[in-house]
Amino acid sequence: AEGASGDRAGRRDLRAAASRVLLANWTGASTVPSHTLYPHQWSWDSAFIAVGLARLSPRRAQRELETLLGAQWDDGRIPHIVFNPAVPHEAYFPSPDFWRSSTAGAAHGAPSDIETSGIVQPPVHALAAWLVHESDPETSGRRGFLERVYPRLTAWHGYLHSNRDLGGHGLASVLHPWEPGMDNSPCWDLPLERVDPAPATTFRRADLTHGDAADRPTDLDYGRYVRLATDYRDRGYTDAGTRHAFVVEDPGFNAFLIASEHALAAIALTLGQDPGPHRRRARALTTALVARLWHAEAGLFLCHDLRTDTPIAEKSVTGLLPLLVPDLPAPVVRALLRTASGEHFGLGSTTALAPSYDLRGHSFDSSRYWRGPAWFNINWAVERGLRQHGALTRADDLRQTILATSGASGFAEYVDPRTGRARGTTDFSWTAAVVLDLLA
């Protein structure tokens, strides 16, 4: 009994600590991922944050998503950063004067009164909106939350289904390593080799003021990120009909899109509208995902380079994220479960949390950002996927590990997957948010 009450007290303390992080990172209408490294609003961060905030204040969770949707472009895209005008430009690179969204993005209906980036991040938003609604349907219904967000979320998916199906195979593609959210994943090493880096003298990184250089992407990576973003901007943020140096189909990005399409079906049904179009889209995306990106011999989904039309032979955790997709073929699910706990990801044995990249991969690095460290938003998604496919004990174990590691690391941005040691910044919003959700 003492153990049980100690456990209860531990959970209470963890909840209080996670709540303090989110309250401190709230800026009045949305939440920063981190006051130091990322002092604006980020797209997929806000989706995870809303899921956690819903456990503290459903109204605030709704506000978080609606602030982000307020910066949506007329073409449907949700920008990956919404800039806070009160924050000085030097605080983050690339700043609004780099992206110039209100002018360079005018042809696509970028907002004129607020500055944003011009690229996107994984579409976790409809899933988040549905989870926010479900956490308190009464408040959501009374405030007309779903009625307001549904058309915007539908337009967002419309953008991805049309403008971003650049391969013509029914999947959304990404045009910059920042878009799938796993910036310096070894998956991008080959495609990035074709990109001529912008000279280091033409920009100034702000991240190294707050982050350890050994935990962050390299200067060469940054030179290439800047080149790709500059080219996209200079072509007015146009997707179709121009040649993109970097264009990739990413399984994690598409898995979130499918989970979110199912969420749109649930939202439509709740609003008394026809869920059929969303269900058909989810089915078509699932078929395309398996046909294009599943590699039985590798035991997971691989990214596909559309420039060379070849699969990218790197095992990244993005290839396990399709566990979020409800109706995968049974042999695919079985293989994914085997891969998750096998030698490459070691879930439950070598590592406690899923690493971002192959433990045995030639580029594995336990500290450097998306080249090995374990991230809490991704592990939250893997936990959901395991649970959805009936791997309940493994989901429970992973849940306990997420809870234990997050608190002990000071709500780290990411951790060494073998030791759980904190990397990057601390008091990181989505780490606190997934804790609040998993404790509920």
Binds ligand 9WN (CB under 6 A): choice among 26, 38, 150, 246: 38
Q: How many CB atoms lie within 10 A of CB 276?
A: 11
Stretch that binds ligand 9WN, among 97-105, 176-184, 286-294, 341-349 (CB under 6 A): 176-184
Question: Torsion-angle region of residue 201: left (phi > 0), alpha (psi -120 to 50) or beta?
Answer: alpha
- In which order are the strands placed within the sheet that holds 422-423? 374-375, 414-415, 422-423
Considering only 136, 183, 416, 427, the residue that binds ligand 9WN (CB under 6 A) is 183
Q: What angle do CA 387, 300, 375 make, to 5 degrees?
A: 60
Residue whose CB is less far from ligand 9WN, 94 or 346:
94
Residue 53 or 266 having the CB closest to ligand 9WN = 53
CA distance 24 to 21: 5
364 binds ligand 9WN (CB under 6 A): no
Q: Which of 15, 22, 26, 42 binds ligand 9WN (CB under 6 A)?
A: 42
Q: What is the closest distance, in whole angstroms, from the C-beta atom of residue 40 to ligand 9WN in the complex? A: 9
**x/- letters, 69..108, toward ligand 9WN (CB under 6 A):** -----------x----------------------------
Q: Please, which of residues 301-330 interact with ligand 9WN by CB under 6 A?
A: none
144 φψ region: left (φ > 0), alpha (ψ -120 to 50), beta (else): left
Backbone angles phi, psi at 374, to 5 degrees: -95, 135
| Token pair belonging to 308 | 């060379």
Range in contact with ligand 9WN (rule: CB under 6 A) among 55-63, 129-137, 143-151, 177-185: 177-185
| 45 belongs to the binding site for ligand 9WN (CB under 6 A) | yes
Q: What distance lies between CA 272 and its chain's CA centroid? A: 30
State which H helix or E strand residue 375 sits in. Answer: strand 374-375
CA 82 – CA 350 distance, rounded (Å): 39
**Using the rule CB under 6 A, which residue among 181, 186, 372, 420 binds ligand 9WN?**
181
**Residues taking part in catalysis:** 183, 413
Smaller CB distance to ligand 9WN: residue 282 or 381? Answer: 381
Q: Which is nearer to ligand 9WN, 195 or 288 (CB)?
A: 195
